[in-house]
Amino acid sequence: MAAPATPGAQVPPAPVALGDLSGEGSRGLPDTRSEPKQLPELIRIKRDGGRLSEADIRGFVDAVVNGRAQGAQIGAMLMAIRLQGMDLEETSALTQALAESGQQLEWPKAWHRQLVDKHSTGGVGDKVSLVLAPALAACGCKVPMISGRGLAHTGGTLDKLESVPGFNVIQSPEQMQVLLEQVGCCIVGQSKKLVPGDGILYAARDVTATVDSLPLITASILSKKVVEGLSALVVDVKFGEAAVFPNQEQARELARALVGVGAGLGLRVAAALTAMDKPLGHNVGHTLEVEEALLCMDGAGPSDLRDLVTKLGGALLWLNGQAETQAEGAARVAAALDDGSARGRFEQMLAGQGVDPGLARALCSGSPAQRRQLLPRAQEQEELLSPADGTVELIHAMPLALVLHELGAGRSRAGDPLRLGVGAELLVDVGQRLRRGTPWLRVHRDGPPLSGPQRLALQEALVLSDRAPFAAPSPYAELVLPPTGAQQ
């Protein structure tokens, strides 16, 4: 296979020795006793910095899924893992145990080298999955994407798709197989039958301050992908002020863990590090992001979104042996955007997952103005003006996301209703020259006008400088690759 040929740094995974994922290093030898340990003993071992054997970890996950583990015991084990870490073998065992805690997805053997997926750690304006899944399907892949909902300031792919009237994210394994046969992709929610152990642990992590544990994040992401029976996976690990990880080095640590554990489980994983200081694209908010995804599938739209879609897709096609180089893979994805084949697959996916075929056709064939009439819209629009002359140095994503959250575009807790039409359009690009009084942001809202603090927060998100206009850098920073043997 030819060497990768993608702009941006490419980082082979550092050798991951036992203890690399643990904060204190690992102590003790694997336990060879056949008699299962009780939960308090397992918690004590990890609390004191010891290793858990594969049998120990399977016993813990089994107790969690079958209800034998008390909430306090689950929280104690998660905190012990958060503080003491897990080595590569422990993390692999946890990933496998979670993957096997529920139903396994099984596909025809002929699909073996076609099954691929992409996962993102979440950001602001991140609508890549809406574009990439159908684009990969148009390139001959099968994409059984199990996605999530938004929480806090990040938007969820499922919520965005549900802004299209009739779209149903609940699909049985049998329905998923039909969609993969007929369309080539589906985007569905995690059910109670698929990876239930991860669902329980994630809910507990959310209320025990253990969300940021590297081994727990790794096992949560990869367990869902192991269940999908994939041939290859690319993970978009975001870093920056509006991401889980504030800097690139922390993101790289997770990327290496994902790649290393994936290789141990027989899954080819590449992890892209991408910047999330400014929103991705121009639109933020559920309906508005669907509109921008369609624009990208028209072969148009913001350059940063297209760049990320084509590079992530190109890396995945190369990793899966469907392109000789990453550049060739990226060109194939770009062609699917430009010739309408990705948009055609998106239309088929909408219709296959419950959208009226006439609405799906109108959305995918209409102009941007026509599309806006077909999707939920906010009641009012309000523009903000540039306070001075200058070049747009940065538009901070976090203040924008937080204000939109206050306006109803996000949830404070799972199950909260969403205002699907609420959002914002960036009317300028980073690097562009602005004159005082020029509109730079259009807010779509359902309620009263923006409050003074909200307007101030949004205006402070716009950073102007005196330098000459410039081309904005790509958000794509580097790619962490699996060991050479795992790429074949």
* DSSP assigned state of 207: T
DSSP states of 391-452 as a string? Answer: EEEEE-HHHHHHHHIIIIIS-SSTT----TT-EEEE-S-TT-EE-TT-EEEEEEESSSSPPH
Residue 10 lies in a domain: no
Terminal-residue alpha carbon distance, the chain: 7
- List the one residue out of 342, 348, 350 whose CA is nearest residue 309: 342
The answer to whether 332 touches 317, Cβ cutoff 8 Å, is: yes
132 & 80 share domain:
no
Q: What is the pLDDT of residue 235?
A: 96
Residue 126 identity (one-letter amino acid):
D
* Beta pairing class for 143-147 and 433-434: unpaired
Q: Is residue 304 assigned to a domain?
A: yes
The pLDDT value recorded for residue 11 is: 57
Tokens linked to 237: 């690990």
Residue 77 sits in a domain whose CATH number is 1.20.970.10
Output the pTM of the full model.
Answer: 0.88
pLDDT given at position 103: 86
Cα dihedral 298, 302, 306, 309 in deg (nearest 10): -110
User: Do 399 and 305 belong together in one domain?
Assistant: no
The number of domains in the chain is: 3
Q: Identify whether 486 is part of a domain.
A: no
In this predicted structure, what is the pLDDT of residue 10?
64
Here the tokens at position 480 are 């962490």
Specify whether 166 is located in the same domain as 278. yes
**How much is the pLDDT for 206?**
76
Residues 355 and 251 grouped into a single domain: yes
**pLDDT (0 to 100) of residue 5:** 40
> Residues 327, 328, 329, CA angle at the centre, nearest 5°?
90
Q: Tell which phi-psi region holds residue 111, choosing left (phi > 0), alpha (psi between -120 and 50) or beta.
A: alpha
Q: Is residue 308 part of a domain?
A: yes
| In contact, 442 and 368? CB cutoff 8 Å | no
**Residue 64 lies inside a defined structural domain of this protein:** yes
Residue ranges in the chain whose pLDDT is less than 70: 1-34, 149-155, 411-415, 485-488
Task: Give the residue from 322, 338, 370 where a domain finishes.
Answer: 370
Interacting residues of 53 by C-beta distance below 8 A, sequence separation 6+ = 30, 31, 32, 93
Q: Is residue 349 domain-shared with residue 388, that is, in the same domain?
A: no
Q: Are residues 364 and 382 in the same domain?
A: no
In a domain, 360, yes or no: yes
254 and 340 part of one domain: yes
Provide the residue type at 286 as one letter. H
Residue 58 covered by a domain: yes
Residue 445 maps to which CATH number?
3.90.1170.30
Provide the domain limits for residue 359: 109-370
Alpha-carbon dihedral angle through residues 271, 237, 274, 375, given to the nearest 10 degrees? 120
Q: Per residue in 318-353, pLDDT tens? A: 999 999 999 999 999 999 999 999 999 999 999 999
Of 353, 370, 387, the residue that ends a domain is 370
> For residues 421 and 287, is the Cβ–Cβ distance under 8 A?
yes
pLDDT value of residue 7: 42
Strands, sheet with 433-434, edge to edge from the N-terminal-most edge strand: 433-434, 390-395, 462-465
CB burial string 67-92: b at 16+ within 10 A, e below: eebeeebbbbbbbbbbebbbbbbbbb
Residue 435 CA to residue 449 CA, distance in Å, equals: 24
209 and 350 belong to one structural domain: yes
Same domain, 353 and 425: no
With beta carbons less than 8 A apart as the criterion, state whether 197 and 206 touch. Answer: no
In this structure, the answer to whether residues 307 and 416 fall within a common structural domain is no
| 70 within domain boundaries | yes
Provide the annotated active-site residues. Answer: 117-120, 157, 205, 220, 224-225
Same domain, 217 and 124: yes
Residues 242 and 356 in one domain: yes
Three-class secondary structure of residue 176 per DSSP: helix
Among the candidates 325, 349, 370, a domain finishes at 370
CATH number at residue 139: 3.40.1030.10
